[in-house]
Amino acid sequence: MSVLEVARDVLAVALLLAGTFLCLTAGLGLLRFPDVLARMHAGTKPQVLGVLLVMVGAAIRLQGWSATWMLLLVAVFQMLTAPVSAHMVSRVAYRRRHVRRDRLLVDELRTGGGGAGDRVYKGDEPADAPPEEPATALAESREEDGRAENGRAEDGVR
Amino acid sequence: MTVVYWAAYGMLGVGAFLALVRLGIGPSLLDRVVATDTLLVIIAAGLAVHAGLERDPTVVPVLVVVSLLAFVGSVSVARYIGGMLVGSADDGQDVGLPEAAEERAARAAEASR
């Protein structure tokens, strides 16, 4: 075994151990942090950096290009999907009041008392969800119904 | 090499166990979603560590599936509960729900101090 191979194995094992250490810190943070946002902060450490370290370590150890490309695919996929799922989960966490507001320094989602009335959110609901402003939509549909009724009545008179 | 095995699988195992504890005690659905996500990432890391240490590339395709599964799971749960919400004009949060259990507990701790 040449010096180069030994150095390569040492580097790979060090990267693997660093990645597994990040997994351990994620578990600790998940258990100890106070609310959903903080737990997400801890839980996403291994999602990007940990997975990257472990993938690079495994790619150094494994022989052959097919395994390397697949590991690269996993790493790229993690980096693409981690922000999307984190964004969705944190937004729902805020709206479902799972956020400790007394611990927030900046709260950009707070709308303030604008007097706009309660409304159903657009953006992350299924396509058959109720309309955005229930009261306005109800008034509009009643108005439309009334217009239809009047039209029919006028037709009857003529 | 044995030391490396023990250290790597030990850290992964403890991390996965702590994530499982969080999955068990909740307290909210989203805590469980985050814990499941982390657990799947730890499983993927464990498979990759196995592949690396044993020089065994057969589990590498499984990694792709596991990482896909974590994303689809958390996004579908988030969409599922996101569709039920009614936003309040007052603070941008859902009107029908009580405040966060964590926040209430913190307030109780403040009051008792």
Residue that is last in its domain, among A101, A117, A136 = A101
Residue pLDDT, tens place only, A80-117: 998 898 888 888 887 777 777 777 777 776 665 544 44
Best mutation target, A1, A13, A97, to test chain B (most B CBs within 10 A) = A97
Q: Answer yes or no: is A106 within a domain.
A: no
Asked if residue A114 belongs to a domain, the reply is no
Q: Is residue A115 in some structural domain? A: no
Q: Is A116 part of any domain?
A: no
Do both A56 and A96 map to the same domain?
yes
Contact B15 A39 (CB under 8 A): no
Q: Is the pLDDT of residue A44 over 80?
A: yes
Mapping DSSP to helix (H, G, I), strand (E, B) and coil, where does residue B86 land? Answer: strand
Q: Which residue has the higher pLDDT, A122 or A70?
A: A70
Q: Which of B61, B105, B106, B17 is nearest to A31 (CA)?
A: B17
For residues A97 and A133, membership in a common domain is answered with no
For A130, the domain range is: 125-158
Distance CA B70, CA B73 (A): 5
In this structure, the answer to whether residues A42 and A78 fall within a common structural domain is: yes
Q: Nearest-CA neighbor of B63 among A68, A30, A43?
A: A68
Is residue B40 less than 8 Å (CB to CB) from chain A?
no
Region A71-82: what's the mean pLDDT? 90
- Give the gap in angstroms from C-alpha B50 to the nearest C-alpha of chain A: 9
Given CB atoms, is B42 within the 8 Å cutoff of chain A?
Answer: yes
Are A129 and B83 within 8 A, CB to CB? yes
Establish if A87 belongs to a structural domain. yes
Cis peptide before A83 (omega within 30 of 0): no
Which residues are CB-neighbours of B4 under 8 A, at least 6 positions away?
A: A13, A16, A17, B53
pLDDT 10s digits, A128-145 = 555 556 667 677 777 877
- On whether residue A40 sits in a domain, the answer given is yes
Q: Is B108 on the interface with A (CB under 8 A)?
A: no
